[in-house]
Chain A
Amino acid sequence: MRLGRITGILVAVAAAGAAAFAVLAWHPAIAPVAAPPPASPDVIRAGETLAALGYCASCHTAEGGRPYAGGRPIKTSFGTIYATNITPDARTGLGGWSLDAFTRAMRQGIDREGRHLYPAFPYTHYTGLTDGDVAALYAFVMSRMPVEARTPENDLPFPFSVRALMAGWNLLFFREGRFTADPNRDAIWNRGAYLAEALSHCGACHSPRNALGAEVTARAYSGGEADDWWSPALDAGSTAAPPWTEASLTRYLAGWDPEHGGAGGPMAPVVAAHGRVPRAEIAALARYVAGLAPPGQAGRAPVDRPVRVEDASLARGATIYAGACAVCHDSGGWAAGGVPYTAPSLGHRTTITGPDPRNLIHVLREGIAPASHARGPYMPAYGEMLSADQVTDLAAYLRARFSPDGPWPDLRETVHRLMPDAPVGRAGPSTTASAKEPPR
């Protein structure tokens, strides 16, 4: 029968495909070792600096948990992945991992037992690391105190729960290979490029991702997202006002810049980790990142303009700003003697000048907490104080006053989505608001 023959061919093709895929997806386990070889303190120290630049702890540490013991949920658009325990615990961590096993995980995304890791772990970047740096990172993590902490099971629906399918994803989107320097650039730029691309994986958040979660390299650094925060563009699409410079980026990445302020959201632990990093490494990162925007770009100046008070929502927002925000944010900025950790005006903040309102809503809702036992920055949280409609009015006012671009189109829906537990309150003042025009 003809139909039978076609079916037979199809079955044969499918079987051959499955066999080829199995070969592609299968990786052998690497035999466990009793103990890692001893490493010199200098190598361990170098690994500590590299781990800070890769801010490994920010994913591999649960809220309130022991450093590197894993368990932090990483929300992706496919489901929740739990960061693993990378302390050298024999049962629940990297105990028994040889340098070869660690290297394969870092460069190919395959764990010691031969299973595929998900690219939420950015092996797509770490593949660029040098042998020496992988060995130093290995020496550092293996010298941590072992912590017994079982990593929770991932919460991924089928088919994403099938790790072997990552072989196909790798075929489509992953190119293994070491970082290669650009001989036309200086040594500092190349150092920064190596750090940014291979270790600090900046593109993991600052580049857009496609439907299958792979970074769109053609639009690298044009902005992305992390943990439902918007990650600003680092390229020509940056809305920063004034534009970033190598010097201001160095200050920002080291902690605080008078013009642009400090890091918030998922970027805060990145900058916090830089406290252990030599300034020269941060300056190299800054040189590379500053070079992502075309040189001589005119850039934008901070805006502070009058707001139309005939608009009822903007008038309500102006009232809230005057009562809740102005006491700090109209103080002229820390550098000029104003309230500590404030910028000269909110026109300097990408939370307000950016195309996406989510970061502003997160900051208004949660405030900015000081690191434990550290002095500020500290902004009080308004998530318990203002209703979602009041936050909408305030955000609309901030946007109108401090950004040259138009209103955020989906502001109200986004506020309500991000503040489901906000107090209900009334829509806003029913009295005539005395919306003040900002100082010119």
Chain B
Amino acid sequence: MTGSIALSVNGRRHMVEAAPETPLLYVLRDDLGLNGAKFGCGLGQCGACTVVVDGRAVLSCLLPVAALEGRAITTVEGLGTPERPGLLQQAFIAENAAQCGYCIAGMVMRAHALLDRNPDPTEAEIRAAMAGNLCRCGTHRRILAAIRRAASSRKGDRAGTPPPATGAGQGQGQGQGHGAAGATAGRVRS
């Protein structure tokens, strides 16, 4: 049975018609056109569907929409636009962290929740927080570098040397070409 459910996504309120047990991921992608979060395994094993709810990283493929009424949902589209990428998105672009890009929106959102709660994480804390998000291309080292870069620029730590980019071709436009770190839908908050 479908019903009308009120969801708050990226600061905007949406009424969606959906069966209450529908996973949030399906509503984001199919009803709201927010295609950043990806369907990977559908079993909570890969993290590609990670979004942030009330400041915490959640697996949107395993969270029924009915459990989300009144809670603030943030997707990768809520962090910035292709023209004005957010801090983490900039860091992922600068480090060329995306290869195929499929996991990246989930990685960015998991890292976003981490840095919100712990602005200055240790390497061990970053690795522990990110452990549940898989990347089949193997760009983990660049993903970690991007998170460290975002953490140090959030600190405004201009005196310290930001970690060097790990690869060649770190042009911003090129990074954006990989897509997932940038926004894909129109409903965004700048």
A residues sitting closer than 8 Å to B (CB atoms) are: 316, 319-320, 322-324, 327-328, 339, 378-380, 384-387, 390, 423-426, 428-434
B54–A425 touching, CB < 8 Å:
yes
In this assembly, does B63 line the interface, its C-beta being within 8 Å of a C-beta of chain A? yes
Query: CA A429 – CA B54 in complex, angstroms?
Result: 17
Out of A339, A385, A390, A431, which one reaches B43, CB within 8 Å?
A339
Q: Which residues of A contact B20 (CB under 8 A)?
A: 319, 323, 429, 431-434
B62–A423 touching, CB < 8 Å:
no
Interface size for chain B: under 10, 10 to 19, 20 to 34, or 35 or more residues?
Answer: 20 to 34
Interface set, chain B 55-73, CB cutoff 8 A to A? 56-59, 62-71
A424–B132 touching, CB < 8 Å:
no
> Which of A323, A339, A379 lies at the interface centre, i.e. has the most chain B CB atoms within 10 A of its CB?
A323
Query: CA A430 – CA B15 in complex, angstroms?
Result: 13
- Which of B1-9, B89-97, B99-107, B175-183 touches A? B1-9
Q: Which residues of B contact A385 (CB under 8 A)?
A: 53, 56, 58-59, 62-63
A319–B71 touching, CB < 8 Å:
no
Query: CA A426 – CA B5 in complex, angstroms?
Result: 13
B4–A431 touching, CB < 8 Å:
yes
Provide a sorted-by-A list of 11 A–B residue pairs whose CB atoms are within 8 angstroms: A319-B20, A319-B67, A320-B21, A327-B42, A327-B43, A384-B56, A423-B56, A423-B71, A425-B54, A428-B67, A434-B19
B44 and chain A: residue at smallest CB distance: A380
> Are A425 and B23 CB-contacts (below 8 A) given A324-B64, A328-B43?
no
In this assembly, does B166 line the interface, its C-beta being within 8 Å of a C-beta of chain A? no
A380–B62 touching, CB < 8 Å:
yes
A372 nearest CB across to chain B (Å): 10
> Are A323 and B22 CB-contacts (below 8 A) given A425-B67, A429-B67, A432-B1?
yes
Q: Which residues of A contact B170 (CB under 8 A)?
A: none
Query: CA A166 – CA B14 in complex, angstroms?
Result: 65
B21–A323 touching, CB < 8 Å:
yes
Query: CA A241 – CA B56 in complex, angstroms?
Result: 37
B84 nearest CB across to chain A (Å): 29
In this assembly, does B45 line the interface, its C-beta being within 8 Å of a C-beta of chain A? yes
B70–A425 touching, CB < 8 Å:
yes
Closest 8 CB pairs of A and B: A323-B64, A429-B66, A380-B44, A431-B3, A322-B21, A323-B21, A434-B1, A426-B70
> Which of B1, B21, B59, B62 lies at the interface centre, i.e. has the most chain A CB atoms within 10 A of its CB?
B21
Query: CA A322 – CA B65 in complex, angstroms?
Result: 11
